[in-house]
Amino acid sequence: MSTHVQTATKATRKAPKRRGTDRSRAENSLARKLVAPAIVLMLVVTAFPMLRALYLSLFDYSLTAPDDREFVGLSNYWTALSDSLFWRDTSNTVMIMIVTVAVELVIGFGFAMVMHKVIFARGTIRTSILIPYGVITVVSGFAWQFAFSNTNGFVNSWLPFAGDDFNWFGQYSSSMVAIMASEIWKTTPFMSLLLLAGLAQVSDDMLEAAKVDGATWWQRLYKVILPNMRAAIMVAVLFRALDAYRIFDNIFVMTAGANGTESISFLTYRQVIEQFQLGIGSALSVLLFLSVLVVAFVIVKVFRVNLADARQEG
């Protein structure tokens, strides 16, 4: 990397130098200047508001009556944590996360295998797989909402087991199916592209050797392909799981939380923006942030994801 190692011979003054050569000090200060704007911007919009949320969460504070702000300690957290609504929404969110990531992993892997092998229409397939990725989540939500609609949709007439006037948004379970369908449709392509990149790294020689040794297709998949793309799979799962945990757009558009389909993000949004309850809303924000940390921690620990792979740098 350091192709130009300039020995700072002239510059060896008596000045106290605890950080190596002038060269490395200059590099340090240049790097800091280059990185500073990005770091400041990222922290101004995340760390600072998060600390502010931490502060506001200790108050009984409603924007409809801003003058009645009153310090209440941790009682907002107690209110949130002892409310069954919070736990219902958390379990909805966790369920959406697990189901969508699992389904996406399977379908995405299938897509990646096909894209890896396909010879005809390679460009067409790769172009079209980017379309769901690019489509706005709100649009995806609308498309699927109308598709599942019993007055204007086509799903009922295409599915053999659903009656023509079955109302998908009439009860909890089928509403969740519709929400998850739109989420899975939109994000599977992203998953499959990450997996495709991992698949490209499995060496053909190894597969060929396994074939010569008489390994069946399944054996090659389980013993050669999957272990060799472990890193790619884990990174894809981590990214998608945390993304799924934030689910908001589809639910807002498709059910607006009706029939108990709220996610934890939606609950937080409702408290803050619709009801102007900044105190309890901030407590929910903090809890949401903490729960994302927990989810990330669990995934990293359970699956032993190597984060250096994710950001390519140790």
Partner 1 sequence: MNKLTSRIGTVVGGILILVWCLLPVAWIMSLSFKSQEAVTNGSPGFFPSDGGGAGWSNYKDVLQDDQFRRSIINSIGISLIATILSVIFATLAAYAIARLEFVGKKFVLTTALVIAMFPVVSLVGPLFDMWRTFGIYDTWPGLIIPYMSFTLPLAIWTLSAFFREIPWEMEQAAQVDGATSWQAFRKVIVPLAAPGVFTAAILTFFFAWNDFVFGISLTSTENARPIPAALSFFVGADPFNRPASLLAAGAVVATVPIVIIVLFFQRKIVAGLTAGAVKG
The binder of partner 1 chosen from 8, 50, 210, 300 (CB under 8 A): 50
Nearest residue to 152 via CA among 171, 169, 174? 169
Q: Cβ neighbours of residue 248 under 8 Å, at least 6 residues apart?
A: 263, 265, 266, 269
Asked if 193 is part of the footprint of partner 1 (rule: CB under 8 A), the reply reads: yes
Nearer to partner 1, 14 or 218 (CB): 218
Q: How much of the chain is in helix, strand and coil states, percent to nearest 5?
A: 70, 5, 25
**Residue from 123, 160, 163, 214 in contact with partner 1 (CB under 8 A):** 123
Rule CB under 8 A: say whether 125 interacts with partner 1. Answer: yes
Could you tell me which of 86, 97, 28 has the C-alpha nearest to residue 268?
86
Task: Out of 8, 75, 77, 132, name the contact with partner 1 by CB under 8 A.
Answer: 132
Judged by CB under 8 A, the chain residues 284 through 303 that form the site for partner 1 are 284-286, 288-289, 292, 296
Interface with partner 1, residue 126, by CB under 8 A: yes
Which residues are 277's β-sheet partners? 62
Among 68, 83, 208, 309, binds partner 1 (CB under 8 A): 309
Q: Which long-range contacts (CB under 8 A, 24 or more apart) does 298-304 make?
A: 299/237, 299/238, 299/241, 299/242, 300/238, 303/234, 303/237, 303/238, 304/234
SS3 127: helix
Q: Pick one of 16, 134, 163, 214: the residue that binds partner 1 (CB under 8 A).
A: 134
Binder to partner 1 among 6, 12, 46, 219 (CB under 8 A)? 46
Q: Could you say whether residue 89 binds partner 1 (CB under 8 A)?
A: no
CB within 8 Å of 145: residues ≥ 6 apart: 169, 178, 182, 253, 254
Please select the residue that binds partner 1; options are 76, 188, 255, 261, rule is CB under 8 A: 188
The 8-class DSSP code of residue 277 comes to: B
Footprint on residues 231-270 left by partner 1 (CB under 8 A):
231-232, 235-236, 239, 242-243, 245-246, 248-249, 252-253, 265-266, 268-269
Q: Kindly identify the residues of this chain, within the stretch 147-186, that bind partner 1 according to CB under 8 A.
A: 147, 149-154, 156-158, 164, 185
Considering only 28-36, 77-85, 172-180, 220-228, which stretch makes contact with partner 1 by CB under 8 A?
A: 28-36
